[in-house]
């Protein structure tokens, strides 16, 4: 017995090395049929971040179809904990301090989506003309913002912008936050690495999600980040929910 979503899901994904970096340490998962999506960002400045992000995404790609949302989240947590141990072991083998990756995962089941994350890769929700960030960054800058030390605008250009406080592979036991939301017809989710959120403003993200079809939205967002400098790897996964049984759906060819 699996837990299918009542929504029809459309999604698109794009990951780009950017205009400055030589290696793309981002990776993503785009699987609309089973209802799972993810973005992982290998920790910049650390050894083989591309290995870390690929290992995380590979672990999530093998998630079993869940019987319920609770079991789906538990499975994702278990697989990420295993990936955490593998990265800790690999770092020890290579005699480096750490090999790590951020992660944001979105899972669809029944009328809900659950999400889990560690680090500063983000999940946004676009609903009824408004954009809302669903995740809270695990970063030094976010902690300074929560204390009122710096403003949102100051955070965008703060020297500690890339210093995260949680990641897969960073510590022996991985700390993940998770939450869930009831989905509405027409909801659009954006999963992205900080290479997008640091270059593209919320207003620009909103403009793209308002005016561009889901199939092209990930390309448009990445192109915006590149146009603004592309100083980091850039990844965007855009996911749209359509309820085929929504009460306001219009019949295109109603029977006579």
- Calculate mean pLDDT across residues 37-42: 98
105-109, 204-208, 229-233, 245-249: which has the minimum mean pLDDT? Answer: 245-249
pLDDT band at 44 (very low <50, low <70, confident <90, very high): low
Q: Are 39 and 144 in contact (CB under 8 A)?
A: no
Mean predicted confidence (pLDDT) in 89-108 = 94
pLDDT tens readout for residues 220-239: 999 999 999 999 999 999 99
Most confident of 75-89, 90-104, 157-171: 75-89
Question: Residue 256's pLDDT band (boundaries 50, 70, 90)?
Answer: very low
Using a pLDDT cut of 90, give the percent of the chain over it: 77
**What integer best gives the mean pLDDT of the chain?**
91
With a pLDDT cut of 70, the percent of the chain lying above it is 88
Token representation of residue 240? 């749209």
* pLDDT tens digits along 120-144: 999 999 999 999 999 999 987 777 7
If pLDDT is split at 50, 70 and 90, which confidence band does 254 have?
A: very low
* pLDDT for the residue 179: 98
The string of pLDDT tens digits covering residues 10-28 is: 999 999 999 999 999 999 9
Question: Over the stretch 141-158, which tens digit does the pLDDT of each residue have?
Answer: 777 777 676 777 666 666
Give tens-digit pLDDT for 209-222. 999 999 999 999 99
Confidence of residue 252 (pLDDT cuts 50, 70, 90): very low
If DSSP codes are grouped into helix, strand and coil, which group holds residue 239? Answer: strand
**Burial class, 252, CB count within 10 angstroms (exposed 0-12 / middle 13-18 / buried 19+):** exposed
CB distance 117 to 133 below 8 Å: no
- Taking alpha carbons only, the member of 235, 255, 241 closest to residue 38 is 235
pLDDT of residue 237: 99
Domains identified in the chain and CATH numbers: 8-242 (3.60.40.10)
Q: If DSSP codes are grouped into helix, strand and coil, which group holds residue 185?
A: coil
Query: Could you tell me if 100 and 26 are in contact, meaning their C-beta atoms sit under 8 angstroms apart?
Result: no
pLDDT at 255 over 60: no
pLDDT of 105 reads 98
How many whole angstroms separate alpha carbon 26 and alpha carbon 41? 4
Whether the pLDDT of residue 53 is over 60: the answer is: yes
């Amino acid at each position: 017995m699996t837990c299918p979503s009542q929504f029809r899901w459309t999604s698109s994904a794009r990951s780009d090395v950017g205009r400055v970096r030589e290696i793309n340490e981002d990776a993503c998962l785009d699987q609309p049929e089973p209802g799972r999506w993810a973005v992982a960002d290998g920790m910049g400045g650390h050894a083989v971040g591309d290995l870390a992000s690929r290992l995380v995404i590979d672990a999530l790609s093998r998630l079993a179809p869940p019987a319920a949302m609770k079991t789906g989240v538990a499975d994702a947590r278990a697989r990420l904990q295993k990936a955490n141990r593998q990265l800790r072991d690999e770092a020890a083998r290579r005699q480096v301090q750490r090999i790590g990756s951020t992660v944001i995962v979105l899972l669809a089941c029944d009328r809900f989506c659950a999400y889990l994350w560690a680090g500063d890769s983000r999940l946004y929700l676009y609903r009824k003309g408004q954009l809302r960030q669903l995740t809270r960054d695990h970063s030094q800058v976010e902690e300074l913002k929560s204390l009122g030390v710096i403003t949102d605008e100051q955070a965008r250009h703060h020297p500690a912008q890339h210093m995260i406080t949680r990641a897969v592979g960073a510590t022996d036991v991985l700390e993940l936050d998770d939450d869930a939301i009831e989905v509405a017809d027409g909801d659009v989710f954006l999963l992205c690495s900080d290479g997008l959120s640091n270059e593209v403003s919320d207003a620009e993200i909103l403009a793209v999600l308002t005016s561009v079809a889901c199939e092209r939205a990930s390309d448009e967002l990445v192109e915006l980040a590149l146009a603004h400098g592309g100083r980091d790897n850039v990844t965007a996964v855009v996911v749209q929910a359509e309820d085929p049984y929504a009460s306001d759906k219009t019949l295109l060819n109603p029977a006579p």
